[in-house]
Structure 1
Amino acid sequence: MGAQISKTFNKQVTHVVFSNGHLSTWKKAKKSDVKLVSVLWVVRCYDDGVRAEEELYPALNDESNPVLKNKKVSTHRCMQPKDSPERTPENDKRMRKKLNKMMKDLPLKQHISTDVSPIIIDEENGIVYSPALKRSDYMAQRLKDMKEKRENISPTGMCISSPVIIVCLMFQVMRTLVMTSMPTEQQNTVVQVVKALGGFSIVDRVCENTTHVVSGGHRRTLNILFGIARGCWILSFEWILWCLEQRQWIPEEPYELSDRFPAAQICRLQRHLSAGEHQQDLFQDQPAIFVSQHSQPPSQSLVELIQLCGGRVCRTVRQAGICVGRYRGRRPEGTRILSEQWVLDSITHLKQLSYDDYDLE
């Protein structure tokens, strides 16, 4: 972007990009009246193509950060793993006592409002779920209510400010994070932050243990769609940068890509509220679906997406009511041939979209 980089502090320096650096560099910059900015300032300048206001992206050091004020200064501390043993309920009596108290209080806090609950109670047949559309509306309303009350449903957010930290420690080995639409430099940053802060393992593909999908852009990738279908957090790379800046996991909600992927919040809330294994039912009422071997994305990925959303997939077109992707062979009368985009767009918006806009005939 036209700037000159200096490895040492000298009179020609006008800006210092400070992220967990030496205290002496901080003091020199303050004494020389040089602008101290965080790495987010560089990112914003690159994204906007113009010089951003430095005051909006101030740098932090250990003295100004209350979280680290009483901690010993260490060179590149945020990139070093902790040497102290991890506290768990098994080796810490205080944590075990808190966990037991939480387990006793847990049934008292589980409550669902009866006037908008998506569950219909049938005395003869037991508990029956209401139609998918009603549940989707309920989840949207529940999400709105939680925002108004500022309920924190973020697993990393709970680790920061809530006594539920014990639960986080118990399950953190199970959580995985996936990167998508991300250049190598950003991937390296994510790897370093995860290694320093812990709590996640990084995998290439969204699986049942994945809770976070971090995107370097706004492209709709397969990992994004799998993340939506499985109820994961869909986050921008800026979340990682702020975690690096604060040297701790911060709440995800401000960095969620909900404008680009509107179904992400609702699916995430459904997973959060589900008692057992999370299962979407977007395609549950659709006829049997056959996926063409020539489809793009690959048929195996489309089949998995459809099944994750409650759809029935058949192996031959003779059994299908819907064929996804181009198919030149014979098919039963009445079978609709739809573009692959019908599946992808339906998942993105969590709606059963009209066939007419995706008909390939």
Structure 2
Amino acid sequence: MIGWYVHHHGAGHLQRLVAVTRHLRTPVTALSSAPRPAGFTGGWVQLDRDDDGDVDRASATAGGALHWVPLHHRGLGRRHAVVAGWIAQARPQLVVTDVSVEVTVLARLCGAPVVVAAMLGDRDDAPHRLGRDLATALLAPWPQPAPQPAPQTPAPSGRTPVVHVGAFSRFDGRPAPTGATRPGTVLVLWGSGGRDVSDDELLAAREATPGWTWRFRVPGSRLTSPQDEQDVWDALLEAEVVVVHGGHNAVAEVAAARRAAVVVAQDRPFAEQRRRVDLLRAEGLVALDGWPAADRWPGLLARARAVGAGPWRRWAPGDGAQRAARFLDETAAAQGVLA
């Protein structure tokens, strides 16, 4: 049995769970305060939220030792009790955390080996170091960094191995044509975790590029239409260039569709998206630290068209989820069960 903790913020953690567990041989039970995702067939343990109601934010980091442990929060206490109780009863061979330092510590204190889903960013603070030190391995959904100078993050504490499996997404395995279905089409693809770019900035970019037709899949924007998974995939295949934020899952979806791209980092904790665009630039892709001025867009789209989709083959080889599943199956089998 593998236990898999899923953080409730955004959709990316849930999508990784579904993508990898489709290929796992070992039974999986997920534990999360997020809703159970469509497509996940394993066991599910619903956890209380640890951030609702009255939260004593001044105590949340325990003086910098951890990331989120607010004092006297009932949901926090109940969720940790449930996780510990599940480990004691199910006796998993392995626990995957995606992602929580606190659950990593708790699982290891309960005697369970832990694989931590690695995340890019400047994560050399004490809680992240603790989580890496306690982990059996870090599972990194991006390739080994290219030979060009680039930040190699997260920086392991020294002894915890980092297993790079390449990026993967919910769209892996779908056939993607190499040519643009509608030349001159730009798709702006944004996620549900918030955005730094305004509708006015999107419109200014469109107005600055009269030779291009812009389409928008941006949650919360007046420029977009309701979307579902099939709609996003079809929109990707129609586009010649995709303008996408620097989040892991959105980038992996563009890579799966093999589309030319302009990747724009958003402001996120630990500079996660900026570190991702550092790596993507090293791969030869057009990747920016922030939303550019409108007059830069003609040149950026021309550069993306010239670069094309070739660099995506190394970033997302197409079997990243299978590689991750194989590693987790092998690791679980090697660990045995709790005594």
The two structures have a TM-score, normalised by structure 2, of: 0.26
If the length of structure 1 is used for normalisation, what is the TM-score? 0.25
- Determine which structure has the larger helix proportion and give its number: 1
Bigger share in strand = 2
- Which structure has more relative contact order (CA 8 Å, sep 6+)? It is 2
